[in-house]
Amino acid sequence: MRSPDSYWLDTGPTWTGSSGALPRRTGVCVLGAGVMGSTLAYWLATAGLRPLVLERNSAPAMGSSGRNAGRLIQGGNAQHALAIEKFGHAEALAIYRATLTNRDLVREVAAREGLEATRFPTAKLDLAVTEDEALELKRTAEALTADGIEAEWLDLPAAREAFGTGLPDTVLGGLYRPDQDAVHSVAYVRGMAAAAARHGADFACGVTVTSVEAAPGGGWLVTTDAGRVLAEQVVVALNAWTPRLLPELAPVITPVRGQLVQTAPVPFRIPQWGLDRGLLYGGQAPDGSLLIGGLRNTVPGRDEGIDLPQDDNTPAFSPDLAQRLADALPSLLPEATGVPVARAWSGVMAFTPDRCPLVGAWPGAAGLWVMAAFNGHGMPYSQVMPEQLAERIRGGRGDGIPSAFDPARFL
């Protein structure tokens, strides 16, 4: 069974910004109009370039970007205390700070481009149900505080207060971080794409790219089902589909299915939350409905390394997983008992072995760039990585991209 459309796709604005025939030549060609490709086009266009974006779907945001939970969670994939152990303090802090810069950019750009209605403020509460996890989260609260970042370990009564509704006694407490954002994913990404187009970017939707090769006279030959384009520079922003064009990344990028369940609207507001090291997570849509996702890997081999659909972005949908997610909600949120499920959907994420994305130059190939594999966690980087990569493409330093994200580490 293929996944139904997401709430965001059903309630987001329609896209009318695509141009007609492909040009024969372009300066920068961006492959993929998810949040990464669309936002990169925005930063390139606001710098005076005229990027061409190629997208196989009829509109931007029909891939993972239009099927996610819309949460812009600050920090990298690992909790800060664990990231410090993994990458060293300087690099872990660079990763965390990138997501804080991202938060500020999201707000700035949303205000500048009339996208305020697509963004809504929230907080994040990571809940611990085991002593080990509680310790990890307490250490993270301390490490963040030491780095001047607002975070606090809350014991159960305080966590209940922050959650605003009755958490069960099995919760030991939680790491609370205020000042977070969530977005209506499709409205936000299409808003970015429309802003990019207003500033001079061209979007060609309904065009599937089949190969990228070095052109004999310099530059890159992009072959599509609608013709060929010679580009001076190419950015591959194809999420889990990236290895189709860059097969060297096949051993590095694992396609992973993510699934979400959405309830009917509820009359209370809760912050974004994570439980069991993010294995179960949730948030709330602007209409008050609850989102719950995760439980990946509870059936070995079901969600990791899935076969990617050739023609679109909707992986197989598991009614069994949807049921289990729906069943999990009342055990955390007793107030949600009896609230009907409104819909459920799935999408494709791209994971790397070290859980860091690939952002930067393709080694030894001038003018070829990659920005992909955000490990189920792309939104917290969705302005800052495109902005920094745009700077590199224009010959600048772009040194806000953490070195842990350099694609060369795998190549």
Residues forming the site for ligand FAD (CB under 6 A): 31-37, 54-57, 62-65, 67-71, 208-209, 237-239, 241, 244, 258-260, 293, 313, 347, 349, 372, 374, 376-380
Which tokens is 89 given?
Answer: 């303090």
Looking at beta carbons only, is 15 or 153 nearer to ligand FAD? 15
d(CA 321, CA 325) in angstroms, rounded, equals 6
Looking at beta carbons only, is 134 or 243 nearer to ligand FAD? 243
Looking at beta carbons only, is 172 or 283 nearer to ligand FAD? 283
Separation of CA 143 from chain center: 25
Minimum CB separation of residue 369 from ligand FAD in Å reads 13
Instruction: Please give the single-letter amino acid code of residue 186.
Output: V
Minimum CB separation of residue 268 from ligand FAD in Å reads 20
> Nearest-CA neighbor of 360 among 315, 310, 398?
398
> How many residues would you count in the chain?
411
Minimum CB separation of residue 389 from ligand FAD in Å reads 12
E strands in 14-55: 25-31, 52-55
Looking at beta carbons only, is 17 or 293 nearer to ligand FAD? 293
d(CA 124, CA 48) in angstroms, rounded, equals 37
Q: Compute the CA torsion angle 71, 72, 77, 81 (nearest 10 deg).
A: -120
d(CA 194, CA 314) in angstroms, rounded, equals 24
Residue listed under structure tokens 């205390």: 81
Alpha-carbon separation of residue 387 from 12, 42, 105, 229 (angstroms)? 24, 9, 9, 24
Minimum CB separation of residue 6 from ligand FAD in Å reads 8
Minimum CB separation of residue 66 from ligand FAD in Å reads 7
Which tokens is 173 given?
Answer: 């407490």
Burial classification of residue 365, based on how many CB atoms lie within 10 Å of its CB (0-12 exposed, 13-18 middle, 19 or more buried): middle
Minimum CB separation of residue 266 from ligand FAD in Å reads 19
Looking at beta carbons only, is 260 or 333 nearer to ligand FAD? 260
Looking at beta carbons only, is 172 or 362 nearer to ligand FAD? 362
177: left (phi over 0), alpha (psi -120 to 50) or beta: beta
Looking at beta carbons only, is 144 or 260 nearer to ligand FAD? 260
Instruction: Output the furthest CA–CA distance in the chain (Å, rounded).
Output: 67
Q: What are 128's strand-pairing partners?
A: 173
Looking at beta carbons only, is 63 or 398 nearer to ligand FAD? 63
d(CA 5, CA 279) in angstroms, rounded, equals 23
CB 125 within 8 A of CB 286: no
Cβ-based neighbours of 79, under 8 Å, separated by 6 or more:
126, 136, 137, 140, 175
Minimum CB separation of residue 383 from ligand FAD in Å reads 12
Looking at beta carbons only, is 97 or 377 nearer to ligand FAD? 377
Which residue of the chain is nearest ligand FAD when measured via CB? 34
Which tokens is 193 given?
Answer: 């794409």
Minimum CB separation of residue 410 from ligand FAD in Å reads 17
Minimum CB separation of residue 294 from ligand FAD in Å reads 9
